[in-house]
Amino acid sequence: MKRKLVIVLVLFILVLSFTPVFNRWSSELKFNDPVLLDSVQLSNDCRILLGSHHSSEVIYQNNSFEFLADSFDVFSDINGFRPYPWGGEVFSGEISFLCSRDNYTGLGSFMIQGKQKDDHGAIAVPDLPLKPNVQPGGLYYLSFWVKYGIQEGGFRLTQQFFCKEDRKYPHYACYGTWIKGNSNERWEYVGLIVQAPIDVWKGDPVLELKGKGYVLVDNVYFGKIEIIKEVNKGEIL
């Protein structure tokens, strides 16, 4: 009799322990969908004034992907190298990464490559504490020099923002236009301007690839900017 009571009690505890896990997972799935932000579009009479690079909270920003660490972690390339604090993130499929000597300037670049149309991954600063602190309400500009060849799918720039209570998933996101085709072995410049919401803490500069093909990235810029309006033959307002 006692043995039956113990078994029933254990089963009851197991049922209770699984219930809140299911509820947390269900609510997390809803929370995973970020609030979408619109990008800032410039008119022909406007230009941007760049501030300083601030793509991470480390001393050496490594925005040209020239410093390589022997990391051998999940964010490293196929040879175990990582252009720290940058790294590669695999969301699905057979996405791979390579620290390359094919560059726009300097000594190196970082490549993301997909083998199938459903492969999905990103180049980013993966560790939350290392993502750049941002000023709420500030205008932030993300840009890369890129060389690419896409057979299926495309790539895009993405800016995400975390609030202080966020841990794994960003509260806000702005997605750039999907870019397809190829650059015919030439380096091209791509950028995205977003205004940070007033309740954010961290930014998250990202280049995202979904599909079959490759993108080489170099000379990333992420930081605050000012928009200057030009009037009357070069005068500024």
**DSSP type of residue 22:** H
Residues 23 and 110 in one domain: no
* Whether the predicted pLDDT of 14 surpasses 60: no
Mean pLDDT of 182-208: 98
Same domain for 23 and 43, yes or no, is no
Give me the amino acid identity at 205: P
Cβ-Cβ contacts under 8 Å for 18 (sequence gap 6 or more) = none
Of 211, 60, 79, 70, give the one whose Cα is nearest residue 125.
60
Do residues 167 and 220 both lie within one domain? Answer: yes
Dihedral angle over CA of 74, 76, 82, 85, nearest 10: -30
The C-alpha atoms of residue 94 and residue 211 are separated, in whole angstroms, by 10
Q: What is the mean pLDDT of residues 85-97?
A: 97
Q: Are residues 4 and 69 in the same domain?
A: no
Give the C-alpha separation, 208 to 192, whole Å: 13
Distance CA 200, CA 37 (A): 13
Convert the pLDDT of each residue in 109-146 to its tens digit: 999 999 999 999 999 999 999 999 999 999 999 999 99
Mean pLDDT over residues 163-178, rounded?
95
Q: Do residues 140 and 163 both lie within one domain?
A: yes
Mean pLDDT estimate for the chain? 87
Q: Do 121 and 142 belong to one domain?
A: yes
Q: Can you give the residue range of the structural domain that contains 217?
A: 35-236
Q: Given a cut of 70, is residue 38 above it in pLDDT?
A: yes
Find residue 194's DSSP bridge partners.
140
Same domain, 8 and 45: no
Residue-level pLDDT at 44 = 87
For residues 99 and 179, what is the distance between their CA atoms, to the nearest angstrom? 22
Task: State how far the Cα of 25 lies from the Cα of 90, in Å rounded to an integer.
Answer: 21
For residue 141, give the DSSP letter.
E
Structural domain count, the chain? 2
Place of tokens 């094919």: 102
Q: Which two tokens stand for residue 232?
A: 């009357």
In the prediction, which pLDDT does 230 show? Answer: 77
Consecutive H or E run containing 29 = helix 2-31
Rounded to an integer, what distance in angstroms lies between the CA atom of residue 58 and that of residue 80? 21
Asked whether residue 67 falls in the same domain as residue 102, the answer is: yes
Q: Are residues 155 and 208 in the same domain?
A: yes
pTM: 0.83
When pLDDT is cut at 50, 70 and 90, the band that residue 229 belongs to is confident
- For residues 199 and 136, give the distance between their C-alpha atoms in angstroms, rounded to a whole number: 6
Q: State the pLDDT at residue 233.
A: 53
Between residues 4 and 17, which one has the greater pLDDT?
A: 4
